[in-house]
Amino acid sequence: MADGSGFGVSCGEEERNVKTEYREAKVVVSGGGVAGVCAAIASARQRVDTLLIERYGFLGGMLTGGNMVVLTTPSVGGIGKEIVDALMVQGAARRCPDDPPNYPIFHYSSERCTLTIAYEAEMAKLLLFQMAREAGVRLLLHSFITGAVVENGVVRGVTVANKSGTQIVRGDVIVDATADGDVAASAGTPFRKGQTDKGILFAMTLLVRLSHVDWPRISEYSKTDPGLAKAIQRGIEAGELPYYKPRTREMVNYWGHPRPELSYLVREDEALMWGGTVEGVDGTNVEDLSRAEVEVREQFVSELNFLRKYIPGFENARIETTGVTIGVRDTRHIIGEYTLTGQDILDRRRFEDVVAYNVKGGFPANDIPYGCLVPKEIDGLLVAGNCISVVPGSTFMGLQLGSYNNIKDIPSMWTTGEAAGTAAALCTRFNVVPRKLDPKEIQKILYAQGALVSKDRIAELETAKLPSGRTVKEFYEATMAECRAYWRGRGEGV
């Protein structure tokens, strides 16, 4: 039947009744972002039938479609390092230079800028497909996970919606790498969300890649106007930065927008701009997400116009790409067999069941124990990425001393994904639920593959020199000492 508009309209029985299909795999990984793709590759490399479900038509999440294109902390080893090394060989990644433009310019990671890796997101998309195929991962793209299948307290699968209808995907072990803990929450797993009893979440940001940027001129200007403070003040007085406000250390993480944050990229004339900061929104609330997507674009255009008008070197800047979606930093964190705390990070605590690393506070800064990947009150499920068991907050700033902000960078996400995928494969091999798996079995594989690193490798990483002349170890030890003093002054930590 036609409706006169030129489009066919069918109202047949087959279209009215949504078809449900059934799929299965030994290991089902839910979410193909940075943690999920590493989990799937790690599982499949153990010769276990592995299915990876992803809502977009590409893998990598923020690494690719999110337009991150800069890794401000290096990968320690394992699959994450494989990805970086492969991009470097292809000429699709490089280390950022010293000056210009990153040091002593105005990006937060300026001191460790020579450790920063810039890369091409489109080449990373292709690389991840190739790595998944070579490992034997089966893919189900353009598929949105709608819930968990739970039987007698055990997660047995997930429900999925896509253009083909709905599917029930069953697996012996499910890995929740959805970032928001969607599978775990659907299964009834308890979780933490936000700081303090008010549940206040980090701000969201859109990443914008610019071209036709003259970095040498920007660098020269920044030496006369550190942090662009003078230009920002002129812009505020002229009403051209209406959403700018100072950021204090006691604020929620990433609330406030005190200055542009920019990074050097692979090509000489490109820059990455953290474009806009939307506060008071929840990444698990569709109304908030809808509002944030609109507001953040209004903000970043305002900021780009400011840069073009006030900062020499930005006059001809063009927008090349924006993230496929706004960057959601912080939502649910499941309550696991162990919860990593901010005090653990300040103390650089070591764990016997270490399976992953937080690399934001050193190389590696802190162990992430296996218990952080195992939900406390349900079986058949592992978590990886943002939703692991941590305390919301940061060791650097915010409303409370927490651990999440320290482990949310992509290189840390890779390590939790590889650990979860390896663990899931071993659970199928030994026919045990995740909480009964001996972490030493995971460690054997991770050490053999370079994902867990030896003391000699740690020493090598920590003795790398920064532009200031300090070693990485000296820089991070000083940072942690300052953070300990800060939280003691606020009556938290020891």
pLDDT of residue 175: 98
One pLDDT digit (tens) per residue for the chain, 494 residues: 344 444 333 334 434 444 567 889 999 999 999 999 999 999 999 999 999 999 999 999 999 999 999 887 778 889 999 999 999 999 999 887 654 444 434 554 566 666 788 999 999 999 999 999 999 999 999 999 999 999 999 999 999 999 999 999 999 999 999 999 999 999 999 999 999 999 999 999 999 999 999 988 988 888 888 778 899 999 999 999 988 888 888 888 888 777 777 888 889 899 999 888 899 999 999 999 999 999 999 999 999 999 999 999 999 999 999 999 999 999 999 999 999 999 999 988 999 999 999 887 566 668 999 999 999 989 999 999 999 999 999 998 889 999 999 889 999 999 999 999 999 999 999 999 999 999 999 999 999 999 998 888 888 888 888 777 888 888 888 888 999 999 999 988 66
Residue-level pLDDT at 214? 93
Residue at token pair 């103390």 = 347
CA distance 335 to 391: 9
At a CB cut-off of 8 Å and minimum separation 6, what does 292 contact? 204, 278, 281, 326
Q: Which helix (H) or strand (E) element contains residue 356?
A: strand 354-358
Task: Say what the pLDDT of residue 458 is.
Answer: 82
Q: Are strands 191-193 and 204-211 parallel, antiparallel or unpaired?
A: unpaired
- Dihedral sign for Cα atoms in the order 76, 403, 173, 57: negative
Query: What pLDDT does residue 98 have?
Result: 55
Report pTM.
0.93
**CB under 8 Å to 440, separation ≥6 — which residues?**
none
pLDDT score for 14: 39
Residue 382 carries which side chain, given as an amino acid letter? L
The confidence score (pLDDT) of residue 201 equals: 96
pLDDT at 206: 94
Distance (Å) of CA 228 to CA 219, 317, 340: 11, 17, 37
pLDDT of residue 111: 66
Residue 385 in tokens: 């990425």
Q: Residue 401: its pLDDT value, please? A: 94
Are the C-beta atoms of 358 and 308 separated by less than 8 Å?
A: no
- How far apart CA 83 and CA 355 sit, in angstroms, is 19
Domains annotated for the chain, with CATH where assigned, are: 15-196+330-494 (3.50.50.60), 204-322 (no CATH)
Q: 23 pairs with which residues across the strands?
A: 169
CA angle 408, 416, 332 (to 5 degrees): 50
Neighbours of 224 (CB within 10 A): 7
Which sign, positive or negative, has the C-alpha torsion 399, 108, 214, 122?
A: negative
Q: Which residues of 103-119 are buried (b: 16+ CB within 10 A; e: fewer)?
A: bebbbebbbbbbbbbbb
Q: How far is CA 449 from CA 80, 257, 355, in A?
A: 11, 41, 12
DSSP 31-55: --BHHHHHHHHHHHHTT--EEEE-S
The rounded Cα 473 to chain-centroid distance in angstroms is 24
Can you give the pLDDT at residue 211?
97
Query: What distance lies between CA 476 and its chain's CA centroid?
Result: 21
